[in-house]
Structure 1
């Protein structure tokens, strides 16, 4: 009787009555968690996070990824000036830092007298080469016989090529040489690589 009175009162208030099971089912309905709202009252969207782009890894340039050549030669007072230019022919970027090895050779690849001397202008600094990019090193040598070198005819045997080894590497690349003998016992001054 008391239940009927309570239900009757709820009907008058505009609410529906149901069985105790319906009331239990209603209380079990999950409620969505509240969202953080901005000062304007709307839900603040959370942007999706994406991983940071990977930084390309640069490795040392090797003879296999470089092509080298001695550029045009400028004469001056018994000296010759040129640049040794290397190009990254690989598919990935690489880095040079320091000085190239440079050994003069005859046509059959036998070494000729070479006295390679490093200069500090410019000194060593890392040079990163994208595929197709170039770096250069300055070269200077003399064509004036010194010491007991003959003053008539070639002062030294004439090189046909040079074996150039990139910094911190052991395998050489072949570089053509068509600039005549190098006097002074094959003395060549070379700078560190710089961007070309």
Structure 2
């Protein structure tokens, strides 16, 4: 009986040793929990689509510090005015725009009533501006008084500039406004930016 217990003890000891015992020498080692991933070799290169996506991800958004803006008139008809809000990348690196600009009319006294309405044609799409590159948003506003607006003189306080905030940014850039009052409570329709 004693021999059997000793034999069993030796078997248990042998199996524990085979599975590994923790000693001061190997106490800090850990066993791998999964198969190691093969490292990329020089022969496997990323696809052109992956490289293009990575390059696009590296281009930062255009902010007010990198842009210069202006509003240019394009058309006028029966109390309606049309223009283009054009921004130029004034920095030395490419940047992207995607979406609509904020646009608040202002004069020397501060904010002037502005009701911005987004139009879906054209809708948002990513535009990459190289240094010196331009993007445009279409504008439409009216000059005929409506509602309680006075019919003599200016229908609203006359703006001298606009604070325009690029898409997904918070700081505005200042844009001159030389087109007089904007009626209907300062209503301006604006499109998303597109390459120009």
With normalisation by structure 2, the TM-score equals 0.71
Determine the structure 1 residue equivalent to 2:87: 86
Determine the structure 2 residue equivalent to 1:29: none
Determine the structure 2 residue equivalent to 1:113: 113
Determine the structure 2 residue equivalent to 1:7: none
Q: Deviations over 1:16-71 (max 9, x none)?
A: xxxxxxxxxxxxxxxxxxxxxxxxxxxxxxxx98x989847211000000000001
Map 1:2-151 onto structure 2 (within 5 A).
55=55, 57-108=58-109, 110-151=110-151
Q: Which runs of 4+ in 1 moved over 3 A?
A: 51-56
The offset of 1:107, in angstroms, is 2.4
> If you compute each CA radius of gyration, which structure gives the higher value, 1 or 2?
1
Please provide the CA RMSD for this pair.
1.8
Determine the structure 2 residue equivalent to 1:190: 190
Cα distance in 1 between the residues matched to 2:123 and 2:73: 22
Q: Deviations over 1:131-190 (max 9, x none)?
A: 000000000000000000011111001000000000000000000000000000000000
With normalisation by structure 1, the TM-score equals 0.71
Unaligned stretches of 5+ in structure 1?
1-47
Q: Paired residues, what number?
A: 147
Q: Does 1:179 align with 2:157?
A: no
Unaligned stretches of 5+ in structure 2?
1-41
The offset of 1:91, in angstroms, is 0.8
